[in-house]
Amino acid sequence: MFKGENKNINISVSKNSPVNASLSLDGYKHSMVQIIALTIALKMKTVIVNPPIVSDTYVFIAIINELGGTAKIYNKRLFIDASTICNANIPFFLGNLCPR
């Protein structure tokens, strides 16, 4: 678990082989947008345990589903399958809901 104040932490993930890893982050509510974007870029299945239940999370779930992927929250887990994303056009109304 990463602990500390105002520390920048760089996380790099390569897709050379299947990954079965776990990462714990405290206070990651504001990092959720970047974490979800990373899962989309990896184009693989990801499970995020105990995601923050904030509007940004639901906006990205809607965007992933609209683009052809699958995302849902079930039993305190966010399941994302970005391997099936086949569209890069985010609908205007969903794009306007994204944080700026």
- pLDDT at residue 84 tops 70: yes
Question: By percentage, how much of the chain surpasses pLDDT 90?
Answer: 17
Check whether 70 has a pLDDT greater than 90.
yes
- pLDDT tens, position by position, 44-58: 888 888 888 888 888
- Residue 40 Rama label (left phi>0; alpha psi -120 to 50; beta): alpha
Question: Where in the chain are the domains?
Answer: 29-95
Compute the distance between CA of residue 98 and CA of residue 17 in angstroms, rounded to an integer: 31
Is 5 a residue whose pLDDT tops 80? Answer: no
Q: Average per-residue pLDDT in the chain?
A: 75
Which comes out higher in pLDDT, residue 47 or 10? 47
> pLDDT band at residue 20, thresholds of 50, 70 and 90?
low
The amino acid at 34:
Q
pLDDT for residue 17: 56
> Which segment of 2-6, 11-15, 29-33, 61-65 scores lowest on mean pLDDT?
2-6
**In angstroms, rounded to a whole number, what is the distance separating the alpha carbons of residues 22 and 58?**
23
